[in-house]
Structure 1
Amino acid sequence: MVSFEFGFTSARSERWLARATLVCFTLLILCLDDDVTPNFFIPLRRTLQEGSTSKDTIRIHRRLRQLAKKHITPRNIPPLQDEPQLPPPPPAAQTQTSASVSAGPKRAFQPAEKYLGKIFPKTEQMPFYMRNTLEPFPEGRDERDIIFFWHIPKTGGELVKNIFGRCFGLRWAQKLKEPASLEMVHDYIINVDTSTPEGIAEAHKLGLVDSNKVDFISSRYALSASSLFTPQHRGRAFTILRHPIDLAASNFFARKALHPELRSLTLVQYVNKNYYADNWITRQLTGTLPHEELTDAHLESAKHILSTKYFVGIYEQLDETLRQLKAFYKLTPLQDQEYCARELVNGDNPKFVKTERPKPARGSSDWKTVASVEKWDLELYYLALEMFSQQGSIFIAQEYSLV
């Protein structure tokens, strides 16, 4: 008989090999399966003491097949992406509120699901299925990019959405009646809410982006809403940034009208309160809650996402922003709507008219105080200015006009 170098006969070697194989399989099952009962160890003990039986082998192989179906499916294999690794939220982020952080009377931080919009799906690789800005637009019949507008509050978002819908005929999601559905409730509005965490969850269930009924999606939740997109309908994103000190002032005066307890405060006092959510843009891009300390790593991650995933506009240069957006997305006005965008921008509709708010003089001590609080968002704003200038050199004004 053929013998191995260890001196075992082939038959004896086969028995030992069978025992070792079953032991390895059993250990693999222990690693994968949370539902192992004490009875499952009987074949392992019998194998070690007496040698394996065909019945034991069949039982263990059957369990392995079940585990393969449970743990190794296409749905559970994450897609290959060249995305930045974002700092993960704290372990208790989904349930923790900041009530434990002193927040003053009547106010407290929002829980993670309200502040970040319940990040779907649960992954640190975000944004999910979002095109890089410079990727070519798809030409296949089965693929179509959907415009994603990350709407930073107080940056002219309502004006932009109305221009995209009324002037260019793009269909967008806005819930106008209960319940949410894929019904078109207007020529350019589908009855789905993407502005709230609950609405984004509904949009997932309804299959909004794969319905072929929406051309662009708007949401203030950068990470959560970006997870709506699919391999067949990827997102192609833009956002509009505003100088963080102006943005802080605008938000402050808007909140003063709603919260009487803020009316006795100045802007500087407001941004120094422990309930003030500083650096909102950086936190939204990196999934970081208000009570978490931001670092250079968060800034670099936010810069990488902004520079690779977003076409940027500047609120202080809204006309040029709209001109660049029209060129980038190759938008064509509807018939008889050639001057629609210009009329909305220069019209007197109170929804779209800019309201000037008092703000600290540039270089003043108050200005420097707010700037120090919003230092991370200031860095992103300066990056956006550079990106905006580069975009303008690509889409020359003489070649691409707003009207």
Structure 2
Amino acid sequence: MPRKKSSRQPSRDPSDGDVSAPFISDKRVFIDEDNCGESQSRRDRIGRSKMSSKDRRKKKSREPEDFEDEMSADYFDDFIGQKSANGDSSVDDEESSFIERRSSRVDKALLTSEDDRRRDRRKGPPDLFKSQGGYEDRQSHRSKPAKRSKNKWYRSSHEPSNRGFESEYNITGVKYRSASSTARALEELKRKRLEAREKKRAIGIMVMMVLIAGVVHFMGRETVAPGVVSKGNMGDSAAVDKVYGKSKGDTKMGSVQRANAAMLNAEINSYGSLATDGDSIPPPIEKTYDDAHQFLVPLHHFADVRDTPRPTDTAFFFHVPRAGGSTIKDMMGKCMGLIQASEVGVRDGHNTDTALQVLTIQENKYVNVDTTTIPGIQRAVDMGLARSGMSDLIVSSYFHESASLFDLEHQGRAFIMLRNPFDRAVSMYYHRLHELHDLDESVSIEDYGQGNGIENNWMTRFLTNRMTGELTKEDMEQAKEILKEKFLIGFLDDLEESVYRIIKYNGWKYADDETAKMKQEDCIADLAKLGSNINTEGYELPKRGTQAYALIIWQTQFDSKLFEYARELFDDQTKTYGSKERKKQRKKEKQKKKGG
């Protein structure tokens, strides 16, 4: 279709009065209705040429009427400006109509903007925790400026680096977190969580270590009496002389009792009174027995095996002849450094001393009393041996007579070493024949077994104090009860285990110094292997079926039964005083019997 020619006329002055003629300016043209059809394309070309691509996209989304009004408004403004410049203030009908349309549209736009603001106030501010794409138009509640600029990232000198950014169009004052600030916040949160986990783990490890240390300490503790002294103090003569103190009867004290007394004094100073303040060790109580156990009354100052050890108790070794007694005394004196009360202390005229004292004889220490004889025991009682606490160990073969050495406050803790009664009787025969020479050489082993010098059930008689007459089943039961209640059991054929139990039962310990401790252990091991009572002349035991065998078995029948009963007691005492190896062995034997 051919393009219409432009109706553009030559420029004229608007003052000529022809209002229908177009007024042509340098840039824009305002025409009347008659020429609107012809000049529409012209206006479109002018608008397209001056519109940007962004404006064109906006133009497509709007109605043509809106665009025409907008463009006409621009032309109208220029036209009014020209008229005002020429001093013409008149307004014709067309201009008045255009002004009314424009005012109506502005009022409508203002009303719509007011409705939007009211709606936004009812809805409230946008949710800042939603994603940015969660809003159809985040700026819908704001009046759009003619031109937008990009968001500015800024960091003022007086603001922290993670302040974020604020949009130029942000009317509400909301500031959005920057990407780097979010990353730093996440890293900080991650670091704090890691620190919290590490702290909990460290606390758990510390608690576990404390629990393990407590268990190890509890398991490693010795179940001994308070006031136990190590052997480092036991064998030091200089220390003995320096720390001797006074006790009841103006007498001196031995190393173990000195330590016990020191701890006792410390407890008294801390608690005021043992009896009144209820210390962990109860005060001693006089034992009472029913009619069936009256035979224990003379022995009531010997502590029971199950009694709690007290610092003032003294160890008592009931020496059964030819049953390893000499070996035990050497171990306790030479290896352990204990102060003993036996027959050695009265040598060189010390049996006439009027006061107790400790003597050093062949590098061992002894109190100047003799507890192996009845007169010597009585002298020790008169001098207050047990009350003095000078002796760590009292040795005697007179069990009932030695009970008078002790009292309620100073009790004895007894242990015994046993040997097979048949073997012990044969050993005694050769010992008397070749070493003591108190038995005629013409006395044969058969004569000995028939009663010529043999000891009839020595152990049963000395335990029950039935030295004469025939023994009965009742005597046998009493001897068993005495062993059970009053004695820690040891055996010559199990010497190392027995020595371990004796040391533990009496609360004796090795020296703190490792070298001294090794010497003590080696000393005990050597004596246990060799023994101090090995026969210098070899002999053979009578064989089963011979007359000597039958006679000796008959002379030791009660002791043999008591010996077998002591085996049971030894096994029962393993649980409390046995070594770890023996406890494991006992457990395996029980499981084996249970399985069989």
TM-score (norm. length: structure 2): 0.44
Q: Secondary structure at the residue paired with 1:158?
A: helix
**Structure 2 unmatched runs, 5+:** 1-285, 584-596
What count of residue pairs does the alignment treat as equivalent? 282
Is residue 151–residue 239 contact of structure 1 (8 Å, CA) maintained in 2? Answer: yes
**Structure 1 unmatched runs, 5+:** 1-78, 87-123
CA offset at residue 259 of structure 1? 4.0
After superposition, where does 1:312-391 map in structure 2 within 5 Å? 312-334=489-511, 335=513, 336-346=516-526, 352=532, 354-355=534-535, 357-362=539-544, 366-391=548-573
Is residue 156–residue 352 contact of structure 1 (8 Å, CA) maintained in 2? Answer: yes
Alignment pair present for 1:137 and 2:309: yes
CA offset at residue 277 of structure 1? 3.0
Alignment pair present for 1:240 and 2:417: yes
The whole-number CA distance in structure 2 between the counterparts of 1:255 and 1:361 is 21
- The percentage of counterpart residues that share the same residue type is 28
Q: Secondary structure at the residue paired with 1:162?
A: helix
**1 or 2, which has the higher helix percentage?**
2
Amino acid at match of 1:147: A
- Per the alignment, residue 40 of structure 2 pairs with none
CA offset at residue 255 of structure 1? 1.3
The whole-number CA distance in structure 1 between the counterparts of 2:504 and 2:550 is 37
Is residue 159–residue 345 contact of structure 1 (8 Å, CA) maintained in 2? Answer: no
The RMSD of aligned alpha carbons is 2.8
Is residue 335–residue 524 contact of structure 2 (8 Å, CA) maintained in 1? Answer: no
After superposition, where does 1:1-400 map in structure 2 within 5 Å? 80-82=287-289, 84-86=293-295, 125-138=297-310, 144-174=312-342, 175=345, 176-177=347-348, 178=350, 179-180=352-353, 181-186=355-360, 188-257=365-434, 258-259=436-437, 262-273=440-451, 276-290=454-468, 292-334=469-511, 335=513, 336-346=516-526, 352=532, 354-355=534-535, 357-362=539-544, 366-398=548-580
The whole-number CA distance in structure 1 between the counterparts of 2:332 and 2:372 is 17
The whole-number CA distance in structure 2 between the counterparts of 1:196 and 1:130 is 19
Amino acid at match of 1:392: T
Amino acid at match of 2:561: E
The whole-number CA distance in structure 1 between the counterparts of 2:458 and 2:332 is 25
Q: Which has the higher contact order (CA 8 A, sep 6+)?
A: 1
Shift of the 170–381 alpha-carbon distance from structure 1 to 2, 3 Å rule, reads same
Amino acid at match of 1:358: E
The whole-number CA distance in structure 1 between the counterparts of 2:508 and 2:556 is 35
Deviation per CA, 1:10-46: give whole Å up to 9, x if none.
xxxxxxxxxxxxxxxxxxxxxxxxxxxxxxxxxxxxx
Is residue 327–residue 527 contact of structure 2 (8 Å, CA) maintained in 1? Answer: no
The whole-number CA distance in structure 1 between the counterparts of 2:385 and 2:508 is 22
Is residue 145–residue 236 contact of structure 1 (8 Å, CA) maintained in 2? Answer: yes
Shift of the 197–349 alpha-carbon distance from structure 1 to 2, 3 Å rule, reads farther
The whole-number CA distance in structure 1 between the counterparts of 2:546 and 2:453 is 24
CA offset at residue 370 of structure 1? 1.4
The whole-number CA distance in structure 2 between the counterparts of 1:348 and 1:316 is 10
TM-score (norm. length: structure 1): 0.64
Q: Looking at CA atoms only, which structure, 1 or 2, has the larger radius of gyration?
A: 2
The whole-number CA distance in structure 2 between the counterparts of 1:215 and 1:301 is 29
Amino acid at match of 2:358: M
The whole-number CA distance in structure 1 between the counterparts of 2:528 and 2:563 is 29
